[in-house]
């Protein structure tokens, strides 16, 4: 066989295979043209004994489906469905969003001196940017951008102002009576906020209890009457917890039937009243309910 | 100042870095583990957040930082995270408020109401393991990533708002600039780089603990070991990945 | 955007109790009320039409074609409010590109296309084919061409071909009844499947939607039949009116029973949400639910229809009574949709507070837009009636 003939053979085979495949497209197309171009023919069309109108509808539906499939292929985003039923590129876009907060580790890389001081203070768990604001720009270009320098009282009071809902023991002040108008930093170093003097009053930290007690029948009792507190409690509150009364007789000193103290205190028979419970397990001593 | 800065840069880069990392290695990458080598592999992670309710002081720094970090509109109708204050009165009545999402702080409790107990609860998208919002999205514009975070594809969302309706926690809103759904992403752009979410970073009392489920020796794991854990609206069977410790039953 | 912020600011002032801060914006408003209302009319009108075709209810046969065209006109208009309420209408086609198969809303595309293309259009095409062929040969100019295109060039008027048309219509109606149930049951499912919302989350929701759809569809056809009879100055077909009124009354009674069942069930189960829902019903929804939906939209029409059916009053008077009842039913069903869609968003998912809905006049979500969208299907219907007169055949008979 000559090379030329071989090529002719290949070509003709290709043409034949294309034309056989084309039949699938050709036939409906041909029919379509036929149907829509000649009315008289259309009336007589009975292919495979399917009614004429059904064929016409079928062609229309096939065309619509074909268009739908093409449109689908054309418009579905490329990365859709790579991982799940979503655009995988969305993850990259999300990951590329701008950061604003640098994180404490970035700060202490340069400000190691302040970091060291703060790490040993009550503010050890407080991040730099909690007060100084988002500072990644500063990390990137320290000369151009400066973080916020806190002055005044507003920011400190946001955490340390008295609110009844705050957890007991969290140091809180009543802004109006705690050195009014003076900026906090005048007395307190925010990087090492141990109070300038060890608090004299329990109320410096236990503001909520102090407020409650102040308006209760127990207003005249000092905290130490009931709570024996080691002096170290003022420096390390959680390591040296104050004590609570452990016996009913303690309250009985005033409230027992034989008591000689304050006549206005209600008296109970300790042997009958309250059973096996300690007094403060039912009565809240900072705000006793008795009238 | 530039001279001083150079010194600091030098120190930071060559001497103090390992040392500083040792001293200040607080909670980086959520679990205090060293940053991983090689490209980020989503399937190796499963992020979660712990909220230690009894530590929250309601300062609102978290909600504010969230708006800064994620370019959320400042108006008080669009929140990725917010803080609620609960006060339960002696007669059992419950008052809840969240003025401005808690960002401006909270006013004192109303005088005269006899409050039995009161506390703050930070709220955010619960990053549910079975998210109703993803279930209802008609086009696949909101989805759960392999590392367990629910994200919104801003350029694919059609703005039908069905996800907002489906979220039991009110965690979603429509950003009026893009008219697409938006919500907390756990600061996805931060966490995959080993940083903490902005709210966790600035929380002054460690109320918020970020970490990964299934990783031992982490603050989150410690929290789960030491406290009673609750999720919001467990009856919804959404299996949240935001875990609350010592949560009050009144919180919804 | 500033307008939205002002609007939200005003809403914030009227919140009672506690709502999540993101809930101050009400996400689905008037347009989403209109959508289930219009779809309900479609399903209802079609179910009425299929009564004729499948159950051979001869009395209402004269409304068959009108009901079909009504269904079509309203179906074409149905997705428009949905489209208009989207934040990105230009992306709506994504529902067809990447439908999320677990989303009830993604199924909208399929249910809608199925119903429009394969049920309603097909049925109408087979029903009108012979007529269109005839009109195409009778008319001149553009109309000739139009009918020729509409009939897809079909010419066959042989008895065999016409008989095939009738069989096709019958078969399609058989498929169409469950499809119409699906279309509107599915709209109910969109709301009923939201577990986060106790006002919506109910297994009865699709069924209640379906029966209220049937009610509204029958009432609409009754109204249209009344109006067209009047304008065409033909003798009113009293048997038809009576039958329509009976169907309407039965459907209303079923609808009322279902709603009552839903109500009793909720009260008896008395779940966590009952207190806030009770407050919602007593305060914010009192007028639209108790007065409009229940009293004016359901009980009064049932009484009117019963009077019309069972008392001996003159026919002209009877028709007016039916007309008023049908009109009230429309108002009632519209407020049913309102109470579901808007009511479901007036309380917080924290179950601790209520918010308000204030309708705007202008804008895409406004009142004027809503009215326009409600008028549109009637314009479409008018065009369809001009194009495919539903009475030719009957008068030829």
Has residue C163 been placed in a domain?
yes
Residue A36: pLDDT band by 50, 70, 90 thresholds?
low
Strand, coil or helix: what is B82?
A: strand
Alpha-carbon distances of A133 from A129, A151, B101, B177, rounded to whole Å: 5, 13, 19, 25
- Look at residue C235 in the predicted model and tell me its pLDDT: 87
A-chain CB neighbours of C154 within 8 Å are: 42, 52-53, 56
Has residue B17 been placed in a domain?
no
Q: Which residue has the tokens 């990105």?
A: C88
Residue B29 has pLDDT above 50, yes or no: no
Nearest-neighbour CA in chain A from B56: distance (Å): 7
Select from B85, B139, B169 the residue whose CB has the most chain C CBs within 10 Å, as the one to mutate to test that interface: B139
Contact B97 C98 (CB under 8 A): no
Quote the CA–CA distance of A192 and A121 in Å, as a whole number: 5
Weakest-pLDDT range from B9-13, C218-222, C307-311 = B9-13
Residue A6: pLDDT band by 50, 70, 90 thresholds?
low
B-chain CB neighbours of C86 within 8 Å are: 158-160
| Domain total in chain C | 1
Structural contact between residues B160 and B136, judged by C-beta atoms closer than 8 angstroms: no
Residue C371 has pLDDT above 90, yes or no: yes
Quote the CA–CA distance of A213 and A121 in Å, as a whole number: 30
In sequence order, what DSSP letters do the residues of A138-168 get, joined into one string?
HHH-TTT-------SSHHHHHHHB--TTSPT
Which residues span the domain enclosing C43? Answer: 36-193+364-389
- Look at residue A195 in the predicted model and tell me its pLDDT: 74
Contact C87 B77 (CB under 8 A): no
- Look at residue A23 in the predicted model and tell me its pLDDT: 46
Weakest-pLDDT range from A89-103, A166-180, A195-209 = A195-209
Closest CA to A64 of C78, C91, C117, C115: C117
Nearest-neighbour CA in chain B from A285: distance (Å): 14
Has residue C169 been placed in a domain?
yes
Has residue B251 been placed in a domain?
no
Residue A30 has pLDDT above 60, yes or no: no
Nearest-neighbour CA in chain C from A56: distance (Å): 6
Contact C22 B156 (CB under 8 A): no
**Mean pLDDT across A186-210:** 83
C-chain CB neighbours of A33 within 8 Å are: none
Binding partners of C (≥3 Cβ pairs within 8 A): A, B
Quote the CA–CA distance of C158 and C120 in Å, as a whole number: 24
Residue A42: pLDDT band by 50, 70, 90 thresholds?
very low
Closest CA to A75 of C372, C91, C145: C91
Distance of CA A135 to the CA centre of its chain: 20
Taking only the tens place, the pLDDT of each residue in A136-168 is 999 999 999 999 998 889 999 999 999 989 998
Nearest-neighbour CA in chain A from B218: distance (Å): 16
- Look at residue A16 in the predicted model and tell me its pLDDT: 54
Has residue B11 been placed in a domain?
no
C114 touches chain A (CB under 8 A): no
Has residue C153 been placed in a domain?
yes
Residue C393: pLDDT band by 50, 70, 90 thresholds?
very low
- Look at residue A7 in the predicted model and tell me its pLDDT: 62
Residue A275: pLDDT band by 50, 70, 90 thresholds?
confident
Weakest-pLDDT range from A215-224, C29-38, C262-271 = A215-224
Residue of chain C whose alpha carbon sits nearest to that of B80:
C22
Quote the CA–CA distance of B100 and B73 in Å, as a whole number: 12
A-chain CB neighbours of B119 within 8 Å are: 165, 167
**Mean pLDDT across A236-256:** 89
Q: Which residue has the tokens 């989303």?
A: C103
Instruction: Give B53: exposed, middle or buried? Use CB within 10 Å, 0-12, 13-18, 19+.
Output: buried
Give the tokens for residue C151: 């009939």
Nearest-neighbour CA in chain B from A231: distance (Å): 25
Residue A211 has pLDDT above 50, yes or no: yes
- Look at residue C184 in the predicted model and tell me its pLDDT: 84
Residue B21 has pLDDT above 50, yes or no: no
DSSP A181: T
Nearest by CB to residue B138, choosing from C85, C87, C106, is C106
Contact C100 B137 (CB under 8 A): yes
Taking only the tens place, the pLDDT of each residue in C132-187 is 999 998 888 899 999 999 999 888 889 999 999 999 999 999 998 888 888 888 89
Quote the CA–CA distance of C187 and A209 in Å, as a whole number: 56
**Mean pLDDT across B99-126:** 90
**What is the three-state SS of B134-165?**
HHHCCCCCEEECCCCCEEECCCCCCCCCHHHH
Alpha-carbon distances of C239 from C56, C68, C215, C250, rounded to whole Å: 14, 20, 19, 17
Residue B18: pLDDT band by 50, 70, 90 thresholds?
very low
Taking only the tens place, the pLDDT of each residue in C302-322 is 999 999 988 888 988 999 999
Has residue C206 been placed in a domain?
no
Nearest by CB to residue A109, choosing from B12, B57, B189, is B12
Taking only the tens place, the pLDDT of each residue in B171-186 is 999 999 999 999 999 9
Structural contact between residues C311 and C277, judged by C-beta atoms closer than 8 angstroms: no
- Look at residue B14 in the predicted model and tell me its pLDDT: 45
Count CB pairs under 8 A between chains A and C: 50
Please give the mean pLDDT across all residues of chain B: 87
Which residues span the domain enclosing B181? Answer: 42-245
Has residue C359 been placed in a domain?
no
Residue of chain C whose alpha carbon sits nearest to that of B96:
C18
Residue A18: pLDDT band by 50, 70, 90 thresholds?
low
Nearest by CB to residue A43, choosing from C126, C129, C156, is C156
Residue A230 has pLDDT above 70, yes or no: yes
Structural contact between residues C53 and C176, judged by C-beta atoms closer than 8 angstroms: no
Residue B244 has pLDDT above 80, yes or no: yes
Taking only the tens place, the pLDDT of each residue in C222-245 is 999 999 998 888 888 899 999 999
Binding partners of B (≥3 Cβ pairs within 8 A): A, C
| Domain total in chain B | 1
Give the tokens for residue C21: 């801060």
C-chain CB neighbours of B171 within 8 Å are: 22
Structural contact between residues C218 and C330, judged by C-beta atoms closer than 8 angstroms: no
Give the tokens for residue A93: 């876009």
User: First CA to last CA across chain A, in angstroms?
Assistant: 122
- Look at residue C83 in the predicted model and tell me its pLDDT: 93
Structural contact between residues B202 and B88, judged by C-beta atoms closer than 8 angstroms: no
Neighbours of C46 (CB within 10 A): 32
- List all residues of chain A from 45 to 104 with a beta carbon under 8 Å from chain B: 77, 80, 83-87, 90-91, 93-101, 103-104
Taking only the tens place, the pLDDT of each residue in C347-359 is 999 999 999 998 8
- Look at residue A236 in the predicted model and tell me its pLDDT: 80
Has residue C144 been placed in a domain?
yes
Quote the CA–CA distance of A186 and C79 in Å, as a whole number: 66
B-chain CB neighbours of C19 within 8 Å are: 170
Contact C108 B138 (CB under 8 A): yes
Predicted ipTM of the assembly: 0.91
- Look at residue C392 in the predicted model and tell me its pLDDT: 60
C358 touches chain A (CB under 8 A): no
Closest CA to C41 of C171, C177, C180: C180
Quote the CA–CA distance of B39 and B28 in Å, as a whole number: 18
Residue percentage of chain C with pLDDT more than 70 = 98
Q: Which are the contacts of A30, defined by CB distance < 8 A and separation ≥ 6?
A: none
Alpha-carbon distances of C393 from B158, C168, C228, rounded to whole Å: 45, 18, 16
**Which helix (DSSP H) or strand (DSSP E) does residue A87 occupy?**
none
Residue C396 has pLDDT above 50, yes or no: no
Neighbours of B219 (CB within 10 A): 18
Has residue B129 been placed in a domain?
yes
Taking only the tens place, the pLDDT of each residue in B175-227 is 999 999 999 999 999 999 999 999 999 999 999 999 999 888 888 999 999 99
Weakest-pLDDT range from A257-271, B33-47, B114-128 = B33-47
Residue A35 has pLDDT above 80, yes or no: no
**Mean pLDDT across B225-233:** 94
Residue of chain B whose alpha carbon sits nearest to that of A81:
B140
CATH code for the domain in which residue B163 is found: 3.30.70.20
Closest CA to C294 of C261, C346, C336, C264: C336
C225 touches chain A (CB under 8 A): no
């Amino acid at each position: 066989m000559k090379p030329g003939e071989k090529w002719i053979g290949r070509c003709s085979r290709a043409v034949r295979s294309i034309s056989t495949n084309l039949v699938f497209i050709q036939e409906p197309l041909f029919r379509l043209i036929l149907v829509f171009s000649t009315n008289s023919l259309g009336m007589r069309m009975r292919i495979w004994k399917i009614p004429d109108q059904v064929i016409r509808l079928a062609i229309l539906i096939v065309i619509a489906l074909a268009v739908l499939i093409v449109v689908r292929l054309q418009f579905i985003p490329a990365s859709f469905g790579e991982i799940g039923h979503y655009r995988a590129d969305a993850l990259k876009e999300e990951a590329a969003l701008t950061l604003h907060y640098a994180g404490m580790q970035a700060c202490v890389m340069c400000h190691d001196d302040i970091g060291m001081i703060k790490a040993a203070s009550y503010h050890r768990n407080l991040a730099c940017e909690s007060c100084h604001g988002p500072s990644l720009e500063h990390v990137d270009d320290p000369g151009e951008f400066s973080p916020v320098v806190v002055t005044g009282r507003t920011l400190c009071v946001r955490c340390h102002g008295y609110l009844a809902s705050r957890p007991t023991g969290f140091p809180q002040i009543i802004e109006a009576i705690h050195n009014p108008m003076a900026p906090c930093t005048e007395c307190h170093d925010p990087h090492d906020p141990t109070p300038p003097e060890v608090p004299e009053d329990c109320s410096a930290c236990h503001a909520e209890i102090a407020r409650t007690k102040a308006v209760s029948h127990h207003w005249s009792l000092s905290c130490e009457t009931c709570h024996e507190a080691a002096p170290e409690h003022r420096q390390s509150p959680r390591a040296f917890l104050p004590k609570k009364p452990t016996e009913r007789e303690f309250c009985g000193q005033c409230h027992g039937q034989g008591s000689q103290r304050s006549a206005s205190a209600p008296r109970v028979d300790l042997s009958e009243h309250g059973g096996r419970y300690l007094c403060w397990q039912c009565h809240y001593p900072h705000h006793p309910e008795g009238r | 100042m530039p001279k001083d800065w150079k010194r600091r840069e030098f120190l930071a880069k060559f001497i103090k870095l390992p040392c500083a990392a040792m001293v200040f290695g607080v909670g980086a990458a959520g679990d205090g583990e060293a940053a991983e080598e090689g490209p980020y592999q989503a399937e190796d992670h499963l992020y979660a957040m712990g909220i230690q309710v009894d530590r929250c002081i309601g300062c609102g720094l978290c909600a504010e930082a969230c708006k800064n970090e994620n370019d959320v509109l400042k108006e008080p109708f669009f929140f990725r995270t917010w803080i609620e204050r609960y006060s339960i009165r002696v007669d059992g009545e419950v008052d809840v408020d969240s003025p401005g999402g808690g960002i401006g702080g909270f006013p004192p409790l109303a005088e005269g109401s006899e409050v039995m107990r009161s506390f703050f609860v930070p709220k955010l998208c619960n990053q549910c393991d079975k998210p109703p919002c993803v279930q209802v999205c008609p086009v696949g514009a909101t989805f759960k990533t392999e590392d367990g975070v629910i994200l919104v594809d801003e350029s694919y969302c059609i703005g039908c708002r069905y996800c907002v309706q489906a979220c039991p926690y009110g965690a979603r809103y429509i950003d009026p600039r893009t008219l697409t759904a938006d919500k907390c992403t756990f600061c996805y752009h931060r966490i995959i780089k080993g940083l903490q979410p902005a709210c966790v970073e600035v929380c002054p009392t460690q109320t918020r603990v970020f970490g990964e489920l299934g990783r031992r020796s982490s603050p989150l794991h410690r929290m789960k070991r030491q406290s009673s854990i609750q999720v919001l609206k467990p009856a919804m069977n959404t299996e949240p990945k935001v875990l609350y410790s010592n949560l009050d039953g009144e919180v919804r | 955007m500033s307008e939205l912020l002002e609007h939200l600011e005003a809403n914030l002032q009227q919140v009672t109790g506690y709502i999540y801060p993101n809930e101050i914006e009400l996400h689905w408003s008037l347009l989403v009320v209109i959508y289930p209302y219009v779809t309900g009319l479609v399903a209802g009108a079609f179910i009425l039409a299929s009564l004729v075709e499948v159950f051979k209810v001869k009395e209402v046969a004269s409304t068959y074609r009108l009901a079909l065209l009504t269904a079509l006109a309203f179906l074409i208009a149905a997705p428009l409010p949905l489209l208009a309420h989207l934040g990105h209408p230009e992306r709506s086609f994504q529902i067809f590109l990447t439908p999320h198969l677990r989303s009830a809303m993604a199924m909208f595309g399929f249910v809608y296309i199925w119903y429009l293309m394969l049920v309603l259009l097909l049925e109408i095409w087979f029903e009108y084919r012979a007529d269109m062929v005839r009109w195409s040969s009778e008319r001149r100019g553009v109309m000739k061409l139009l009918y020729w295109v509409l009939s897809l060039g079909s010419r066959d008027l042989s008895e065999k071909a016409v008989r095939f048309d009738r069989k096709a219509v019958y078969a399609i109606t058989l498929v169409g009844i469950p499809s119409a149930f699906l279309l509107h049951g599915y709209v109910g499912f969109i709301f009923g499947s939201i577990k986060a919302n106790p006002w919506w989350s109910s297994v009865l929701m699709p069924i209640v939607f379906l029966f209220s759809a049937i009610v509204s569809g029958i009432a609409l056809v009754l109204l249209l039949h009344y109006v067209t009879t009047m304008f065409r100055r033909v003798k009113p077909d009293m048997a038809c009116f009576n039958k329509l009124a009976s169907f309407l009354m039965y459907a209303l009674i079923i609808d009322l029973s279902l709603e009552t069942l839903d109500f009793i069930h909720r009260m008896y189960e008395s779940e966590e949400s009952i207190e806030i829902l009770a407050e919602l019903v007593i305060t914010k929804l009192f007028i639209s639910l108790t007065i409009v939906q229940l009293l004016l939209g359901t009980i009064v029409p049932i009484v009117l229809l019963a009077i019309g059916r069972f008392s001996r009053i003159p026919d002209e008077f009877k028709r007016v009574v039916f007309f008023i009842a049908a009109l009230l039913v429309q108002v009632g069903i519209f407020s049913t949709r309102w109470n579901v869609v808007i009511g479901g968003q007036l309380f917080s998912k924290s179950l601790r507070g209520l918010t308000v809905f204030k309708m705007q006049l202008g804008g895409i979500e406004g009142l004027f837009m809503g009215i326009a969208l409600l008028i549109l299907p009637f314009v479409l219907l008018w065009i369809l009636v001009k194009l495919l007169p539903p009475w030719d055949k009957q008068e030829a008979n």
